[in-house]
Amino acid sequence: MEPAGIRPEGTLASGAGPPHNEGQRRTAGLVLPDPAMEDLPFRDRTEAGRCLSKKLVAYADRNDVIVLALPRGGVPVGYEVAKALRVPLDAFLVRKLGAPGQEELAMGAIAAGGIRVLNDEVVRLLHIPQRVIDSVAAKEAQELARRDRLYRGTRPPPDVKGNTVILVDDGLATGSSMRAAVAALREQAPKRIVVAVPVAAAQTVREFSGEVDELVCCYTPEPFFSVGFWYEDFSQASDHEIRELLDHAARDPASAT
């Protein structure tokens, strides 16, 4: 699914030089980064979300827009985006399927609604049998259901039919989890799907340009290294922190403030 040049989370490219990026430009629903990278590394996900929100101002104060964040790391980013745009926030659950023995390498992902997206290249190169894929998917489905109960409680899932959905994560490496989220969302017939991330691998951004209505990204540094490389604080958000952010946003459906 992704070409071999895309590296999984937590890995470094060999022979990598100083990071650089391209000048900003917009083509066919693709928003590429600013020429300067003074914001990198981001202090934390909160700062990254504030940076990202500046590129999404066209969606502010609209009653047909909802921000859906991918837990866990996408929720603090999405919270800042929803707060700045004054639109509702909710979580959209996706679970990465880690390759056997190399769990940080995504062989695919699953999302709500029984959606499964596989990285065919990884599956083929590692000769991963279907029974192993099914076993990992079943385990991750249990965790997805647990988190859904924990994060959402008694709140119903958001109704996205006919609305514009801004899908937010803290970054894109291979894009497997985001692809699963996009595939699951399409089943719910939104009017428009916008993928928004603070930082991403340039190749993954180019791939996504034809898969969604719009992709918004602050920076695509090259070499990419990993998502976490571009944050000073990339510590894992706890389930409690995620629930608090979502509960706070839910108390005022029109705003995450």
Query: Please, are residues 210 and 30 in contact by the beta-carbon 8 Å criterion?
Result: no
Where does the pLDDT of residue 29 fall: very low under 50, low under 70, confident under 90, or very high at 90 and above? low
Least confident of 9-18, 50-59, 75-84, 122-131: 9-18
Calpha distance 41→99 (Å, rounded): 29
113-137: b (≥16 Cβ within 10 Å) or e = eebbbbbeebbeeeebeeebbeebb
Looking at residue 37, its pLDDT comes to: 61
Mean pLDDT of 91-117: 86
Q: Between residues 29 and 195, which one has the greater pLDDT?
A: 195
Calpha distance 105→96 (Å, rounded): 9
Burial of 154 (0-12, 13-18, 19+ CB in 10 A): exposed
Q: Measured between alpha carbons, how far apart are the two ends of the chain, in Å?
A: 38
Looking at residue 66, its pLDDT comes to: 97
Indicate whether 24 pLDDT > 60. Answer: no
Looking at residue 210, its pLDDT comes to: 85
Indicate whether 225 pLDDT > 60. Answer: yes
Domain range summary for the chain, segments of one domain joined by +: 26-94+159-250
Other beta carbons within 10 Å of 170: 28
Where does the pLDDT of residue 35 fall: very low under 50, low under 70, confident under 90, or very high at 90 and above? very low
φ/ψ (deg, to 5) at 142: -65, -40
Looking at residue 27, its pLDDT comes to: 41
Distance of CA 28 to the CA centre of its chain: 20
Q: What is the DSSP string of 85-100?
A: HT--EEE--EEEEEET
Indicate whether 7 pLDDT > 60. Answer: no
Mean pLDDT of 19-31: 42
Tokens 């914001």 correspond to what residue?
39
Q: Between residues 86 and 16, which one has the greater pLDDT?
A: 86
Residue range 157-196, pLDDT digits in tens: 888 999 999 999 999 998 888 988 998 898 889 999 999 9
Q: Between residues 22 and 85, which one has the greater pLDDT?
A: 85
Looking at residue 36, its pLDDT comes to: 52
Q: What is the DSSP string of 107-164?
A: EEEEETTTEEEE-HHHHHHTT--HHHHHHHHHHHHHHHHHHHHHHHTTPPPP--TTSE
β-strand partners of 116: 110
Calpha distance 77→224 (Å, rounded): 20
Q: Between residues 81 and 145, which one has the greater pLDDT?
A: 81
Assigned token pair, 55: 């590129």
| Average pLDDT across the chain, whole number | 84
Q: What residues contact 244, with CB distance under 8 A and at least 6 apart? A: none
Least confident of 17-26, 32-41, 87-96, 131-140: 17-26
**pTM of the entire predicted model:** 0.77
Highest mean pLDDT (candidates 17-21, 66-70, 235-239): 66-70
26-94+159-250 CATH, one of 3.40.50.2000, 3.90.870.10, 3.50.50.60, 3.40.50.2020: 3.40.50.2020
Looking at residue 65, its pLDDT comes to: 97
